[in-house]
Amino acid sequence: MGKILLIEDDGAMRELVKEKLCNYGHDVEMANSCTSAMSRWIDNNGAFDCIILDLNLNPKGLDSKDVNYYFPVHGILVLNKICEEKSSEEVEKIWGKTFIFSGFNDYLFKKREEFEHYSKLKFHRKERETSISDLVVKVNNFIIGKG
C-alpha cells in the first residue's frame, strides 16, 4: 500500500510501530536519528506517502547550534532540513503528511510560534499501547484517503 518513513530513536518502539504498519501492508523505512532520516529521505528521493516523526530524537551528529535551538524537539530539524530549497507547495505537502508521535506535544503547543507550520501536523502521543494502535489506524486511514 503506502510507503512510510518512520523516524524514532527508541528501537523497541520503532519495531513495534513498524510491525503494526506492516500488518496493514505498508512498506516502512526506519530511521533512528536526524542524520539517518535524512539519508533515508535522499535514498528514496522523498517518495514517501507519510512521515511518522518522534520529536525527541537523539541529537547525535547535529550541529551544536541546532541542538540548542531545537531542544527538546530535535525532530523538527529533520523536517526543516528536508524542506530546504523546496517550493512553498512542496513544503506544505511534506508538513501535511507528517504525523508527530511524541510526549512533547504540550511543549510544542506552548512554543508553536517558533514552528510556523504546526497547524499542518497531526499530533499523537506514545504513552500507551492504545495510542500506538490509534496512530497506526490514523496513518493507514490517511494513506488510503479516509483521513
DSSP string, 22-33: HHTT-EEEEESS
Residue 15: per-residue pLDDT:
92
Number of domains in the chain: 1
Question: CATH number for the domain including 103?
Answer: 3.40.50.2300
Q: Average pLDDT, stretch 79-84?
A: 83
Domain around 29:
3-143
In the prediction, which pLDDT does 4 show? 95
Cis amide prior to 72 (ω within 30 degrees): yes
Contact (CB, 8 A) for 75 and 34 = yes
pLDDT at 99 over 90: no
Q: What is the spatial distance between Cα 27 and Cα 23, in angstroms, rounded to a whole number?
A: 10
Mean pLDDT of the chain: 78
> Which tens digits make up the pLDDT trace of 16-47?
999 999 999 999 999 998 888 889 999 999 99
142 grid coordinates? 490517511
